[in-house]
Chain A
């Protein structure tokens, strides 16, 4: 093949096949460029960055909605490889694109309500935000270990900057420094792991992983006694470490509380939700791509159980360490850690079920486990963002984010309190809020996986136990808000019922309730996205 032919083919592939399906990401890119250009021409008085950002996010959302409509209408799941197979476009991707664009829109709305980037910094901030989101979308759609690394870096690097965005604040710079060093270290470890995995398997293409893995396993004994497989396992663990850093799983969670406390509540909310979503998408893809490798079932089971152990440690530590926290962001950081633990339960269950040779066709069970994860993420978006939004709104009035700042808030801002209540109870996992449904799906999946490996029952028990543990610190905050009286000298929080702020948080709370009361639409969507991924594998 001639070089020119190759170029032609590549251009053709890019323009005719890839770019049309890359619309959402393009929207983001265009918005970033636009915002920077606007400032370049000093037109930001006329067109504030937040307007551009809202429009851009809305466009991205619309685009992903169209993609969703198109893809989910089809009877059989379709997947298209973009950019010579570096990315993949399927229901799963679209689900996350839609998820992330929605979240982007909400975050932009929140930041413009709270005015966290001042007008001057608006373009920078939103560029970083959009850039990070772009990276997360790439994470969700990556189909190659190379893309995996690039996407993670794409998502991380702007995040580092965003954490340190509050200029002149010691804690912000400290949080950012810790985040960036930790992130860089984790990325390095992950990259080393990628090199090991790619080297042992001889490919970086994730769609070939299971095939190559089976081949490698066939060469050796198939167990971890085989040096090559052992190298592979080590590499896999290192990749996992990189993802675990993004997911803030124990023991890769150390950055999380510090970075969250240093960052503004809006950024912390963004980090806790979006980067988690992207990382989970990637983790699920990685797991699915390794599934079905004959001869490596033991390895996969070990991987699944390992995830389960991490999950147990993560949620227990997250919930317990949240007990004594006075800073609400820090408390929610630990809550985030715990919730990552809950969600990893689903992945663990999925992997265990996939590696169960005796079980026959497990696609339905796997899909429902994944459905649980996707649903939970979706609910988590609203409940966690709602909680952070309340903290941000309170901070705007009290200049503080500690538990003392919300003491007796019910007398001044009942709307915020009720939203906080809905979000927190949903985080605990109580009906009729969405968190319960999500948790139920995940617990059900774990229980179901119990027939594949009995460790899953232990996992489930810990999941239940942690639900009870978690009640303590959530309710401690609620107790302070509702049952105590506001200090005399506390700054007032005059958030009216008829205000954009209230409307925003009430919308979030409304979605939390809606997802709890009428989970059908979302669960079906999540299910079909999950099923598509499983089927295609």
Chain B
């Protein structure tokens, strides 16, 4: 299929689906649900088609460019490469699964489905845009449906959680907006001033920004993305949002939304301000490591099942930040020192994003399944589910093991690849990061024990505990299979990602070197 059509359809199909929901009869919720599930499935299938069409060797698959706001050089510019493609497919998949998990939503079904599909369109748009302005628009577009999905269909403190989520993200995105303006004006407001590919090219040549400006721009971008990631200390929206959001939305949040932070860093922040990124590498690594440990400790102390999983996301996404940032250079020549290790870190981080997308989606789903039955999430009031719902418990254990980083499941690859490539950057931080494996095992096993093991169920609504139904089993099984496939044969992802990531890393390294060269010249001229 024509890439332009295919990529555009990926974005707009959910929107069209959402519009068409308006013609359904309000009462016929079942039909609307199946319709929406169909739409998400078709979108997912198209993302798989896109996967099939993409040739890793060719680099970026660009769609034709359409005018949007020519007076401001804003274009409708879509494209996909090895970095975004896995995330696009993940979005399609997680959306379908979350939609399948949405049967438990009974309030205002139509509104829910419309917002859900809008959300999917926004997410697709973020991953497919190659125009900074367009990216920003999609980035913000997701906020609105998300706010209502949490705020209307969420738990008891939903309003607080929703507005917190909204505020954090908005705060981050205005910073991003400033950075965007910096790029626009620095590049002279020409046709390519919002073109991420062209900007990255210029940054790599060292003709985009002065080194000091790069640092400013990078910090602005980084804060914006770190909020979404989320990294310490701007993560506190996440536990609240996750806990209050309904199950499918938690799945989307964990499965896709968090990935946007990482994606933004690797797609925009690194290539556009390589020197800034390098300059901040230490801080990022430190934040990443700290997030790992901090999130794990926080997870250990939770008594709310969902909150525990939410904090595990903070911990797991710390690996992403860590993997991205282990970029070391020779201070005088600007040469990148550990390029292969850095690439391993980058790849590991990307893999970790996908893996986390699978495992934490699954974990949230599993929490949701039991919550639908007993309507509480107090870890101390579970137990014995293994006997009551064996299949569900078995798959839950599997998905939690994936989160734990058990070999053979997806979580392991990302986590370990990131960690073992970290030593070349900083041994002490690498050791700290590695210590995360103990804490992770601690909180996950402890949670498993309290929820699934034990002689009997100790909470309320014991009579409502019924074995998981076919729909739930199907969702869990798909995630489980994916976790195993990714864990056993990670090359299926790496083969797609690696060339694009390498190109990105090399371009960034070159850009950084150029910036350091400029700095040297500046210094020399000052001395003269």
Q: State if A and B touch, Cβ cutoff 8 Å.
A: yes
B525 at the interface (CB under 8 A from A): no
CB of B119 to closest CB in A, whole Å = 13
Instruction: Determine if A479 and B178 form an interchain contact, defined as CB atoms under 8 angstroms apart.
Output: no
Instruction: Determine if B163 and A527 form an interchain contact, defined as CB atoms under 8 angstroms apart.
Output: no
Per-residue interface assignment for chain A, residues 502 to 537, with 1 indicating a CB less than 8 Å from any chain B CB and 0 otherwise: 000000000000000011100110010000000000
CB of A16 to closest CB in B, whole Å = 37
**Bound complex: CA of A483 vs CA of B396, how far in Å?**
33
**Bound complex: CA of A425 vs CA of B152, how far in Å?**
17
Task: For A431, list chain B residues within 8 Å (CB).
Answer: 136-138, 140-141
Partner of A527 from B67, B71, B166 at Cβ < 8 Å: B71
**Bound complex: CA of A479 vs CA of B162, how far in Å?**
10
Instruction: Determine if A471 and B185 form an interchain contact, defined as CB atoms under 8 angstroms apart.
Output: no
**Bound complex: CA of A87 vs CA of B148, how far in Å?**
50
Task: For B177, list chain A residues within 8 Å (CB).
Answer: 440, 443, 464
Instruction: Determine if B141 and A432 form an interchain contact, defined as CB atoms under 8 angstroms apart.
Output: yes
Task: For B138, list chain A residues within 8 Å (CB).
Answer: 431
> What is the total number of residues of chain A having a CB less than 8 Å from a CB of chain B?
33
Partner of A430 from B72, B140, B181, B185 at Cβ < 8 Å: B140
Instruction: Determine if B70 and A482 form an interchain contact, defined as CB atoms under 8 angstroms apart.
Output: no
Partner of A483 from B144, B152, B171 at Cβ < 8 Å: B152
Task: For B182, list chain A residues within 8 Å (CB).
Answer: 447
B151 at the interface (CB under 8 A from A): yes
**Bound complex: CA of A437 vs CA of B68, how far in Å?**
12
**Bound complex: CA of A475 vs CA of B167, how far in Å?**
10
B184 at the interface (CB under 8 A from A): yes
A448 at the interface (CB under 8 A from B): yes
Instruction: Determine if B148 and A482 form an interchain contact, defined as CB atoms under 8 angstroms apart.
Output: yes
B337 at the interface (CB under 8 A from A): no
A468 at the interface (CB under 8 A from B): yes
CB of B521 to closest CB in A, whole Å = 23
Query: Which residues of A in the span 421-476 have a Cβ within 8 Å of any Cβ on B?
Result: 425, 428, 430-432, 436-437, 440-441, 443-444, 447-448, 451, 460-461, 464-465, 467-468, 471-472, 475
B175 at the interface (CB under 8 A from A): yes
Per-residue interface assignment for chain B, residues 142 to 178, with 1 indicating a CB less than 8 Å from any chain A CB and 0 otherwise: 0110011001100000110011001100110011011
B69 at the interface (CB under 8 A from A): yes
Query: Which residues of A in the span 179-226 have a Cβ within 8 Å of any Cβ on B?
Result: none
- A-B contacts, CB under 8 A, total: 81
Query: Which residues of B in the span 260-296 have a Cβ within 8 Å of any Cβ on A?
Result: none
Instruction: Determine if A520 and B69 form an interchain contact, defined as CB atoms under 8 angstroms apart.
Output: yes
**Bound complex: CA of A467 vs CA of B137, how far in Å?**
16
Instruction: Determine if A475 and B166 form an interchain contact, defined as CB atoms under 8 angstroms apart.
Output: yes
Task: For A518, list chain B residues within 8 Å (CB).
Answer: 68
Q: A418 — nearest CB in chain B belongs to which residue?
A: B111
> What is the total number of residues of chain B having a CB less than 8 Å from a CB of chain A?
34
Known: A425-B144, A483-B151, A527-B71. A443 touches B181 (CB 8 A): yes
Instruction: Determine if A468 and B69 form an interchain contact, defined as CB atoms under 8 angstroms apart.
Output: no
Partner of A447 from B72, B140, B178 at Cβ < 8 Å: B178
Known: A432-B137, A436-B137. A482 touches B151 (CB 8 A): yes
Per-residue interface assignment for chain B, residues 51 to 95, with 1 indicating a CB less than 8 Å from any chain A CB and 0 otherwise: 000000000000000011111100000000000000000000000
Task: For B148, list chain A residues within 8 Å (CB).
Answer: 482
Q: B154 — nearest CB in chain A belongs to which residue?
A: A483
Partner of A471 from B69, B71, B167 at Cβ < 8 Å: B167
Instruction: Determine if B185 and A468 form an interchain contact, defined as CB atoms under 8 angstroms apart.
Output: no
Task: For B68, list chain A residues within 8 Å (CB).
Answer: 518, 520
CB of B61 to closest CB in A, whole Å = 25
Task: For B70, list chain A residues within 8 Å (CB).
Answer: 520
CB of B476 to closest CB in A, whole Å = 31
**Bound complex: CA of A326 vs CA of B441, how far in Å?**
51
**Bound complex: CA of A464 vs CA of B224, how far in Å?**
13
Which secondary structure dominates where chain A touches chain B? helix
**Bound complex: CA of A520 vs CA of B68, how far in Å?**
7
**Bound complex: CA of A430 vs CA of B170, how far in Å?**
9
CB of B157 to closest CB in A, whole Å = 12
Instruction: Determine if B143 and A430 form an interchain contact, defined as CB atoms under 8 angstroms apart.
Output: yes
**Bound complex: CA of A527 vs CA of B167, how far in Å?**
33
Interface centre among A428, A431, A436, A471 (most CB of B within 10 A): A431
Q: A475 — nearest CB in chain B belongs to which residue?
A: B163
Instruction: Determine if A468 and B141 form an interchain contact, defined as CB atoms under 8 angstroms apart.
Output: no
Task: For B140, list chain A residues within 8 Å (CB).
Answer: 430-431, 436
Task: For A428, list chain B residues within 8 Å (CB).
Answer: 170
Known: A430-B143, A464-B178, A475-B163. A523 touches B136 (CB 8 A): no
Instruction: Determine if A523 and B71 form an interchain contact, defined as CB atoms under 8 angstroms apart.
Output: yes
Instruction: Determine if B151 and A468 form an interchain contact, defined as CB atoms under 8 angstroms apart.
Output: no
Known: A430-B144, A436-B137, A523-B69. A447 touches B166 (CB 8 A): no
Q: B147 — nearest CB in chain A belongs to which residue?
A: A475
Known: A448-B185, A527-B71. A479 touches B159 (CB 8 A): yes
Task: For A436, list chain B residues within 8 Å (CB).
Answer: 137, 140
Interface centre among B133, B136, B177 (most CB of A within 10 A): B177
Instruction: Determine if A444 and B151 form an interchain contact, defined as CB atoms under 8 angstroms apart.
Output: no
**Bound complex: CA of A465 vs CA of B375, how far in Å?**
40
CB of B125 to closest CB in A, whole Å = 10
CB of A341 to closest CB in B, whole Å = 16
Query: Which residues of B in the span 479-504 have a Cβ within 8 Å of any Cβ on A?
Result: none
Instruction: Determine if B141 and A447 form an interchain contact, defined as CB atoms under 8 angstroms apart.
Output: no
Instruction: Determine if B159 and A483 form an interchain contact, defined as CB atoms under 8 angstroms apart.
Output: yes
Task: For B144, list chain A residues within 8 Å (CB).
Answer: 425, 430
Instruction: Determine if B170 and A468 form an interchain contact, defined as CB atoms under 8 angstroms apart.
Output: yes
Task: For B163, list chain A residues within 8 Å (CB).
Answer: 471-472, 475, 479
**Bound complex: CA of A447 vs CA of B148, how far in Å?**
33
Task: For A520, list chain B residues within 8 Å (CB).
Answer: 67-71
**Bound complex: CA of A451 vs CA of B186, how far in Å?**
11
**Bound complex: CA of A441 vs CA of B69, how far in Å?**
11
Task: For A461, list chain B residues within 8 Å (CB).
Answer: 178
Instruction: Determine if A444 and B170 form an interchain contact, defined as CB atoms under 8 angstroms apart.
Output: no
Instruction: Determine if A444 and B184 form an interchain contact, defined as CB atoms under 8 angstroms apart.
Output: yes
**Bound complex: CA of A437 vs CA of B71, how far in Å?**
12
Q: A371 — nearest CB in chain B belongs to which residue?
A: B71
CB of A459 to closest CB in B, whole Å = 12
Task: For B137, list chain A residues within 8 Å (CB).
Answer: 431-432, 436
Interface centre among A437, A444, A483 (most CB of B within 10 A): A483
Instruction: Determine if A524 and B174 form an interchain contact, defined as CB atoms under 8 angstroms apart.
Output: no
Task: For B166, list chain A residues within 8 Å (CB).
Answer: 471, 475
**Bound complex: CA of A408 vs CA of B159, how far in Å?**
14
Q: A437 — nearest CB in chain B belongs to which residue?
A: B69
A and B contact pairs by CB, cutoff 8 A, 12 listed: A428-B170, A430-B170, A440-B133, A447-B178, A460-B181, A464-B175, A482-B148, A482-B152, A520-B67, A520-B70, A520-B71, A523-B71
State the B residues within 8 Å of A (CB).
67-72, 133, 136-138, 140-141, 143-144, 147-148, 151-152, 158-159, 162-163, 166-167, 170-171, 174-175, 177-178, 181-182, 184-185
State the A residues within 8 Å of B (CB).
371, 425, 428, 430-432, 436-437, 440-441, 443-444, 447-448, 451, 460-461, 464-465, 467-468, 471-472, 475, 479, 482-483, 518-520, 523-524, 527
- A-B pairs, top 4 by smallest CB distance, nearest first, are A464-B174, A431-B137, A447-B181, A431-B140
Having A464-B175, A465-B174, one finds 6 other A-B pairs with CB under 8 Å, namely A425-B144, A447-B181, A475-B147, A482-B152, A483-B158, A483-B159
